[in-house]
Amino acid sequence: MTKKIFLSALIGMLIIFAVACGNEQNKKQIVPVDSQDRYKSVYSKSVFLGDSLLTGLADELEDSNVISNAGATALFSLKEVDNIASKKPENVFILLGSDDLLWPVDNPVEESLMNYTKLIEEIKGKLPNVKVYVLSVPPVTKEAMKVEPRYKNIPDYNKALEKMAATEKIDYIALSPIFEKHQNLYDKDGIHFTGNFYPLLLDHIENYFHSSKNNGEVRDGL
């Protein structure tokens, strides 16, 4: 009888010990650094302006840091200048052009860049100390290009965009390296992105700043 009581007590102690260890292990697993909170902190003084390609960015940043409108072009985005100015950002990142290429005009690239230039100048006029950055139009999949052949003009558009950025004395950030290093970022239409793209986008921009500093250029950073 004594042995049974002893064994029962021993088993009970082992169970308590195992549960305690399990709880301790669970506590250790619940402390990973929240990268989302880090992004919100890093980009707290930034505004992203763009079309539907930026919609998923609102899952990584505060809503107030993202202005994305489906079908937005450089021309339509002019109406957002006052909204941007009201937020008093230190940095404005612009991702436009994908919808501009589909605009039914004789020269969509020329038309877009004219309005893009006006957009940048109006933002600078409202916010003299803001730093404006233009992001290149991301590539689309081969399947998407078959459905919409006008996307074949993306490389030419990006060359013109980079030239315009140099003229306006602002930075041009190419996004093509993201797609060279990572696969399966596209949604079903081959144009928009899955949620995996947006942390990569934010990391890419942050790395651009670090790289610029290492090259000896004077920047305030994010």
pLDDT of residue 212: 67
Instruction: Work out the average pLDDT over 128-155.
Output: 97
What does the pLDDT read at residue 222?
Answer: 72
Count the Cβ atoms, other than its own, within 10 Å of residue 130: 19
Model pLDDT, residue 202: 97
Q: How far is CA 119 from the centre of its chain?
A: 20
The predicted-structure confidence for 34-75, as pLDDT tens digits, reads as follows 666 899 999 999 999 999 999 999 999 999 999 999 999 999
Q: Indicate whether this model's pTM tops 0.85.
A: no
Q: Tell me what pLDDT residue 215 has.
A: 56
Exposure string for 94-104, b = 16+ CB within 10 A, e = fewer: bbbbbbbbebe
The C-alpha atoms of residue 46 and residue 54 are separated, in whole angstroms, by 14
Instruction: At 150, list the tokens.
Output: 């006008």
Residue 155: strand, helix, or coil: helix
Where are the alpha helices (H) located in 88-128, listed in sequence order? Answer: 108-126
In the chain, % of residues over pLDDT 90: 77
Q: How far is CA 145 from the centre of its chain?
A: 23
